[in-house]
Amino acid sequence: MKRTLALFVCLLNLSAPLAIGETTHSKYSHSFFNTFDTVITIIGYARDKDIFDEVAAAAQEKFTYYHKMYDQYHAYEGVNNLYVVNREAHLSPVEVPEPLFDLILWCIQKQPDLAGTVNIAMGSVLDIWHDAREEAESIPPTFALPDMETLREAARHTAIDNVVLNEEEKTIFIKDPNLTLNLGAVAKGYAAEMVAEWMLESAMPSFIINAGGNIRTGNAPLDGRSAWGVAVQDPESMLGNTEQSSLDTLYLHDLSVVTSGDYQRFFTVNGKRYHHIISPQTLFPSEHMRAITVVTRHSGWADLLSTALFLMPYEEGADFVAGLEGVGAIWVLNDMSVMMSENLQQYSKAFGATPH
């Protein structure tokens, strides 16, 4: 629902299993598509392939379930998901499954902490840009930018106070019939966190999830290293997901890494790139930077913060991050200079960190 591959996992020296006490753990990998519009890869260390297959299959099932819950574009039989909420909740309260209710409640609770940036009630504006991007990608393409008057009218219907939640009955009511919810800035990261928390309690707590660039690491890899390597991609690299395309490598475990950038989902009009991260102030794509990478434990929070920080000027964002506990960031500015919060340097290969 958000971005495709913006990070890639750099795994080194994984050819041999490692003996842990009397058991041997080997590395396995499983990838699947059709959830959150991206490829999701799970890599883990397990005592045998049967254990890995069981955990990976359950994780895939959970991702599929969350995808259906948070999907705003499709209906699923017997499921009151986000699609149903956006179409029916202005008529009467809609009872929804707990995972959807919890995410919307969590986002509303977090919104005051996001400095007026991310607003899940901004769907009416984001839908206009989504349609423009689809038209630009059609054959033949249509190069029409959204009309500013149309955007301003849509922005009149983005007040989060018009979303009424009943915690006891798990219902959602939308008072403004022109307001729609959009969870694109958080759904994939939040789902990855829910899956990761379950996997940490499973028979395979040593893992890394790559949910289309949203990285969530579990316990350290059981191959002699103390951390997983996650490489942050150079926004201007044309080499794809290779070590040569990275700006830096972060070595960490039990943390999340999420990037927002201008180089993943965009279309071009008259030589100018229009990406998918829309400022609530200008109603156009933000132009403060090329990319922002956020590191913190909770993947949903990392997802929200990466979008929020992309919408802030660097100086404002740096002050914002400095006031958050357990959050670090890497900025790639428009001139391709790279800035890193001090608390991330302990994980950075560029500052001497290693995976051991």
- In this structure, what CATH number is given to the domain that contains residue 140? 1.10.3980.10
Please report which confidence band the pLDDT of residue 33 belongs to, taking 50, 70 and 90 as the band edges: very high
CB of 234 closer than 8 Å to CB of 262: no
- Judgement on whether residues 63 and 208 belong to the same structural domain of the protein: yes
pLDDT for the residue 17: 46
63-82 average pLDDT score: 97
Name, in order, each residue with C-beta under 8 angstroms of 76's C-beta and a sequence gap of 6 or more. 68
254: DSSP letter:
S
Is 2's pLDDT higher than 50? no
CATH number at residue 344: 3.10.520.10
Q: Is the domain of 144 the same as that of 223?
A: no
Q: Among 121, 139, 174, which residue terminates a domain? A: 174
In 10 A of CB 29, how many CB atoms?
15
Supply 204's token pair. 């395979």
- On whether residue 191 sits in a domain, the answer given is yes
* Measured distance CA(204)–CA(200) in Å, rounded: 7
For 50-105, give the DSSP string. Answer: HHHHHHHHHHHHHHHHHHHHH-SS--BTTB--HHHHHHHTTTS-EE--HHHHHHHH
Mean pLDDT of 25-41: 96
How many Å apart are CA 104 and CA 147, to the nearest integer? Answer: 29
Confidence check: pLDDT of 258 > 90: yes
pLDDT at 270: 78
**Residue 75 placed within a domain:** no
Counting residues of the chain whose pLDDT is more than 90, the rounded percentage is 80
pLDDT at residue 240 above 60?
A: no
Q: What is the pLDDT of residues 117-170, one digit of tens each?
A: 999 999 999 999 999 988 888 888 877 899 999 999 999 999 999 999 999 999
DSSP at 2: -
3-state secondary structure of 186: coil
Phi/psi at 68 (5° precision): -65, -40
181 assigned to some structural domain: no
Does the pLDDT value for residue 313 go beyond 80?
Answer: yes
The domain boundary, picked from 143, 174, 205, lies at: 174
| 356: in domain | no
Q: Does the pLDDT value for residue 296 go beyond 70?
A: yes
What's the confidence (pLDDT) of residue 141?
A: 81
Report residue 18's pLDDT band, with 50, 70 and 90 as the boundaries. Answer: very low
- The pLDDT assigned to 90 comes to 98
Structure confidence at residue 13 (pLDDT) = 35
Q: What is the pLDDT of residue 139?
A: 83
d(CA 338, CA 334): 10
Beta bridge partners of 246: 233
Whether 91 and 164 share a structural domain: yes
Q: Is residue 165 part of a domain?
A: yes
Q: How confident is the model at residue 244 (pLDDT cuts 50, 70, 90)?
A: low
CB neighbours of 315 closer than 8 A, spacing ≥ 6? none
Check residue 52 and give its pLDDT. Answer: 98
Amino acid at 122: M
Give pLDDT, residue 120. Answer: 98
Q: Which band of pLDDT confidence, cut at 50, 70 and 90, is reported for residue 225?
A: very high
Q: Do residue 205 and residue 84 come from a single domain? A: no
Lowest mean pLDDT among 140-154, 283-297, 313-327: 140-154
For the segment 300-327, the average pLDDT, to the nearest whole number, is 98
Q: What is the mean pLDDT of residues 46-72?
A: 98
- Whether 37 is covered by a domain: the verdict is yes
Sorting pLDDT into bands at 50, 70 and 90, what band is 199?
A: very high
CB atoms closer than 10 angstroms to residue 91: 10
| Residue showing tokens 């890899």 | 221
How much is the mean pLDDT over the chain? Answer: 91
pLDDT of residue 243: 54
Question: Do 226 and 345 belong to one domain?
Answer: yes
Domain hosting residue 151, numbered range = 80-174
Domain count, the chain: 2
Residue 287: what pLDDT? 95
Residue 84 shares a structural domain with residue 65:
no
| CA 144 from centroid of its chain's CA atoms | 28
pLDDT digits (tens, 9 = 90+) for 74-123: 999 999 999 999 999 999 999 999 999 999 999 999 999 999 999 999 99
What is the distance between the alpha carbons of residues 112 and 328, in angstroms, rounded to a whole number? 20
The domain boundary residue, chosen from 106, 140, 174: 174
